[in-house]
Amino acid sequence: MKTLKIERDIAADAGAIWALLKDFQHIDAFNPNLSRSSHIGGAPLEGVGAERRCDLADGRNWIEERVIDWRPGESYTVEIYAGTMPIKDVQTTLAVFPNGAGSRAMMQIVYTPKFGPIGRILDALLLRRKMTGLMHKVLEGLAHKSLQI
């Protein structure tokens, strides 16, 4: 399993950032990597068990996620249980912590590349760098949107 983690200081209050994070089915409001996100019917809207479908901005790929850990005001962790991405056993955590006059946001992804040895090579050559860039865009979008609240 691979772990990628990034953090970013944000001038906004942690409560404003959490308000965006807890609106689970609308992650597309601040995630520029997505063209759309939506609630999966029958699941709760927030908390453990909440589910969403995310259509990626590339127009081809999608994922379905389920919350497996929810810490109100602090963080949540989701698992990707379906999708077209070249990774498996994926868990993503988004968190926010007070930090002086502002906040610190954190995003972590733990995953295993698909396709065995070829997937591990592709991960080392391309995938890790691509995913880290996508993570930076998520936190950049979160920072931008939280300052508009």
Structure tokens at 149: 């609240």
| Structural domains counted in the chain | 1
- Structural domain including 132 reads 2-146
pTM, entire model: 0.95
Is the separation of the CB atoms in 90 and 79 below 8 Å?
yes
Whether 122 has a pLDDT exceeding 90, the answer reads: yes
Is the separation of the CB atoms in 94 and 21 below 8 Å?
yes
- Domain CATH number, residue 11: 3.30.530.20
The pLDDT tens digits of the residues spanning 47-105 come to 999 999 999 999 999 999 999 999 999 999 999 999 999 899 999 999 999 998 899 99
